[in-house]
Structure 1
Amino acid sequence: MRTTEHVHDRDDHNDPTLYRTPADAVAAPPETLAYVVGFDPTAQRADALFTVDTDPASPAYGRVVSHAELPDLGNELHHFGWNACSSALAHAGHHHASRRYLIVPGLRSSRLHVFDTAPDPSRPHLVKVIEPGELAAKAGYSRPHTLHCGPDGVFLSGLGGADGADGPGGVALLDHESFEVLRAWESDRGPQRFAYDVWWHLRQNIAMTSEWGSPSMIEDGLVPELLLGRRYGHCLHFWELDSGRHLQRVDLGDENQMVLELRPSHDPEATWGFTNTVVNVEDLSASVWLWDREGEDFAVRKVITIPAEPAQTEDLPPALRPFGAVPPLITDIDLSVDDHWLYVSAWGTGDLLQYDVSDPLHPRQTAAVRLGGIVGPQPHPAEPDVPLTGGAQMVELSRDGRRVYLTNSLYASWDDQFYPAGIDPWMVKLDADTSHGGLSVDSRFFPRGADFLGLRVHQTRLQGGDASSDSYCYRR
């Protein structure tokens, strides 16, 4: 572990961005900055953390205002997150926690980079590098993917076993303050082997994990034989949060390949949430599923199905020509902090879909916007004559639910299969109608291409937290 400077001030005052309730988070001041990771798919240039101005009153609105390059190559920055968030209020030992540091994993390198957003939030700077050997030696994992700040530590999912082995993947615990790898979280993993996301119902002491695949199944692209053989992940797992003991495995059906994002209700008393599957191998559709507790066990049911769209063979990339259709490929979902709106990104078609989920069992589509897409790619209003490359992919939502941020890259090797002509980076903001539903693209906000130094951009985090980075301890 390399440290570039002292990384923790134990005299931090209580952070006002640690919110007691979802309503407090919704009512807090809006974000004025967004943080976005960018990577070089050729691994010849350094990846970077970008800061984008999101204040409509600022002369720099919609522009990249700074970037911090990594000191090493080949990381492929992907998902990242805060060292502390609202869940810290559940634990008296972390009452001085501060949402200050961004922990940024390299999915290819298994290296972790820690950025400090103080004293100037618009210019984060690197303060620590955790080498892959520490993650392997102390937790037994590699290929770090998703992290969430919990009450007792930072939970970091790893797709691979030690040193990139094919498994099992799982969850490592990191210290909130020093960022040192503590141990593997699981005490009894039961039948779980694949990993992807990890989240929880904090007050119920329940955790959930989802499944993508092992390193050899994803790193060189989607493997058709494995997909058609139904070998990618297709299960949800439920755990005892404090002990890491496996409780229940729910199979969504092996035709539903790749169970990815976990979006639990933000209501701390609730036991339901949404997940998505990327593709159904029988008809190329994609789907969203609802889990909820029924007695001691959890049940999972499909609540949204998005069908594939027929297409001319010559318009399709080689990987899809045998099928004659564009699969929607749901690659991200996001649930508003008030649990009213669900956003679904269909990276294959380029659609961002908005659903009213005030009745979670019966989602109702209220809006759709198409940006990019494999066939007939759609433009941005700021450049109506230039079709966007890639498609709506990573989606992040402001705490008040009024702003939606999108980026267009999935994973380098998968980008190349589905968008072989290449992906030029872009970030888009949409304004959401939170009264009756509706989406409109903000024509003033469109960083792209050279703004990101040509690096492909993936996940976004928002100053002060966002819809997918916090769990709350109190209902009111």
Structure 2
Amino acid sequence: MNLRPDPTFYPSPKLAMEGPVEKLAFTLMLSPDFSQPDGLAVVNVDPSSDDYCKIVHTVIMPEKGDEFHHFGWNACSSSLSPLTGHAFLERRYLIIPGIRSSRIYVVDVKEPLNAKIHKIIEPEEVFAKTGYSRPHTIHCGPEGIYVSTLGGGGPDGTDGPPGIFIMDCETFDIIGRYEIERGVQDKHYDFWWNLPRDYMVSSEWALPPQFENGLVPEDLLSNKYGHRIHFWNLRNRTNIQTIDLGENHQMALEIRPAHDPVKQHGFCGVVVDTTNLQGAVFTWWRNEDGSFEARKTITIDPQPADPDDLPDLLKGFSAVPPLVTDIDLSMDDRFLYVSCWGTGEMHQYDVSDPMNPKLAGKVEIGGIVKKTKHPNGKDFGYGPQMVEISRDGKRVYWTNSLYSTWDDQFYPGDRGAAMVKADVGEDGGLALDPKFWIDFPKGYRTHQIRLEGGDCSTDSFCYPSV
């Protein structure tokens, strides 16, 4: 343990933006056919280095079939909360859950080029202590590590609803379930919070039978996927309000609150509107009386396409839906990045006015029909997916795989792993870096990215920006 706070912990978003530029990125690699163990790639992102754009170290796991998806830090800027007893932790460990195996790996990255497994938490411990399965999103809170799950108990994960559990941030022991009163919440996906305001927001994707073996068209067309967001009293651990975005707004995924805790609004991405195939982003906000509201503020239209160019799942629609599968908010709360995995586009919106977003930039790469190549001439396989933003907001990184079985439905055949970077203009705008391209080992796909020292979907802050 440190004798002073970790220098990568920042009181405010503005101070985080002024911190050192990242030189390394940590990227998850998954084996879609389970023929190889999944792994963590340490990628050099320092343009002044001879190893720029190279994988400089890998940690390959001992088991197969984990399906790495999302991951996060053991500790972050939330440790500086005045409520915490853990201000002297280090941002040292990455917590990596296997979404399919329910196994959790704790990887020590204090020496990134010698990163190694520190602890393995077997699925039986997760089941026994929480009654949950399919761990998904990791957030470091002031008093522990919060882990969202996509499944309840039982072999198919439908014995009871999924939820959140908490791990000790020093021993990594599982402590237990988060929820005291969950109300109507019966599905789960993402979650995040405003720590000083003492509330949390969570979202919904699906139950395991609706995603593990691929998208279930009948359930989608019957609007049986998640379409609600839930608001919680963070310390009381109770659901205080639920907002239904409309059953046609299927798969409410990423939750991105404003980073500055003074601001009481945020965004939620919706994969598809079943009435028109649009993708959407909702802005949610808190009223003076403590109640919450949400309104659709971004819509992205589908693109007409010849059925012969479409996978079987989409032939009957004669169109490519954008499929909004990830969103991320810059540290200054100015730009929202929206991954359109289906059409092969990364959108950048100016959300300085969160109720009136304006498209500020766009990059085309990949896509079900367009198949736009990278500026270096290489095929980008699928479409823009997990997106991560540098703390200073000048660089945006993303990968291309969504989830193994869904990849195969929307993009049949193995398309290869990819990680790219776009540079951001002073007043917005995006341009792909023609020199930035990461080659990953054969047989792997790539998912979430974490940046050395923290990033825009990791850290939560306890003090306002000045």
Q: Is 1:77 the counterpart of 2:68 in the alignment?
A: yes
TM-score, normalising length from structure 2? 0.97
Note the aligned Cα RMSD (angstroms).
1.0
Residue 232 of structure 1 is matched in structure 2 by 225
Structure 2: how far apart are the matches of 1:99 and 1:387? 35
Residue 401 of structure 2 is matched in structure 1 by 409
Residue 431 of structure 2 is matched in structure 1 by 440
Superimposed CA distance per residue, residues 18-68 of structure 1 (whole angstroms, 9 cap, x where no aligned partner): 001111100000100000000111111110000000111001111111111
1:344 pairs with one of 314, 338, 341:
338
1:359 pairs with one of 344, 353, 357:
353
1:266 pairs with one of 255, 259, 283:
259
SS in 1 for 2:298: strand
5+ residue gaps, structure 2: none
Structure 2: how far apart are the matches of 1:220 and 1:158? 17
Superimposed CA distance per residue, residues 309-341 of structure 1 (whole angstroms, 9 cap, x where no aligned partner): 000010000000010000000000000000011
1:278-297 equivalences in 2 (<5 Å): 278-294=271-287, 295-297=289-291
Residue 5 of structure 1 is matched in structure 2 by none
1:398 pairs with one of 390, 403, 420:
390
5+ residue gaps, structure 1: 1-9
Structure 2: how far apart are the matches of 1:126 and 1:281? 43
Residue 115 of structure 1 is matched in structure 2 by 107
Residue 137 of structure 1 is matched in structure 2 by 128
1:187-266 equivalences in 2 (<5 Å): 187-266=180-259
Q: 8 Å contact 1:198–1:209 — kept in the other structure?
A: yes
Displacement of 1:198: 1.1
Structure 1: how far apart are the matches of 2:379 and 2:57? 27
Structure 2: how far apart are the matches of 1:390 and 1:92? 42
Residue 444 of structure 2 is matched in structure 1 by 455
1:128-207 equivalences in 2 (<5 Å): 128-163=119-154, 164-166=156-158, 167-207=160-200
Structure 2: how far apart are the matches of 1:283 and 1:398? 34
Displacement of 1:92: 4.0
Q: Is 1:334 the counterpart of 2:328 in the alignment?
A: yes
- 2:447 corresponds to which letter in structure 1? H
SS in 1 for 2:113: coil
Superimposed CA distance per residue, residues 255-306 of structure 1 (whole angstroms, 9 cap, x where no aligned partner): 0000000000001122100001100111110100000012221000000000
Q: 8 Å contact 2:84–2:142 — kept in the other structure?
A: no
Displacement of 1:452: 3.2
Q: 8 Å contact 1:143–1:160 — kept in the other structure?
A: yes
- 2:445 corresponds to which letter in structure 1? R
Q: Is 1:14 the counterpart of 2:5 in the alignment?
A: yes
Structure 2: how far apart are the matches of 1:66 and 1:423? 23
SS in 2 for 1:77: coil
Residue 317 of structure 1 is matched in structure 2 by 311
User: Which shifted more, 204-213 or 164-173?
Assistant: 164-173
SS in 2 for 1:452: coil
Residue 374 of structure 2 is matched in structure 1 by 380
Structure 2: how far apart are the matches of 1:204 and 1:128? 34
Residue 4 of structure 1 is matched in structure 2 by none
Structure 1: how far apart are the matches of 2:96 and 2:106? 6
Structure 2: how far apart are the matches of 1:95 and 1:407? 33
1:33-112 equivalences in 2 (<5 Å): 33-90=24-81, 91-112=83-104
SS in 1 for 2:354: coil
Q: 8 Å contact 2:416–2:442 — kept in the other structure?
A: no
TM-score, normalising length from structure 1? 0.95
Identity %: 48
Structure 1: how far apart are the matches of 2:415 and 2:108? 30
Q: 8 Å contact 1:46–1:73 — kept in the other structure?
A: yes
Q: Is 1:473 the counterpart of 2:465 in the alignment?
A: no
Q: Size of the alignment, in residue pairs?
A: 461
Structure 1: how far apart are the matches of 2:14 and 2:254? 23
Structure 2: how far apart are the matches of 1:423 and 1:111? 27
Superimposed CA distance per residue, residues 174-198 of structure 1 (whole angstroms, 9 cap, x where no aligned partner): 1111111101000000000000001
- 1:240 corresponds to which letter in structure 2? N
Displacement of 1:11: 4.3
Displacement of 1:454: 3.0
SS in 1 for 2:397: strand
In structure 2, the CA distance between the partners of 1:11 and 1:399, relative to structure 1 (3 Å rule), is closer
Structure 2: how far apart are the matches of 1:112 and 1:340? 34
Structure 1: how far apart are the matches of 2:460 and 2:339? 22
Q: 8 Å contact 2:126–2:174 — kept in the other structure?
A: yes
Superimposed CA distance per residue, residues 212-268 of structure 1 (whole angstroms, 9 cap, x where no aligned partner): 011111100000000000000000000010121110010000000000000000011
Structure 2: how far apart are the matches of 1:347 and 1:125? 32
Q: 8 Å contact 2:126–2:132 — kept in the other structure?
A: yes
Q: 8 Å contact 2:254–2:268 — kept in the other structure?
A: yes
Structure 2: how far apart are the matches of 1:399 and 1:424? 28
1:305 pairs with one of 296, 299, 307:
299
SS in 2 for 1:289: strand
Displacement of 1:352: 0.3
SS in 1 for 2:449: strand
- 1:215 corresponds to which letter in structure 2? P
Structure 2: how far apart are the matches of 1:36 and 1:12? 30
Structure 1: how far apart are the matches of 2:235 and 2:171? 21
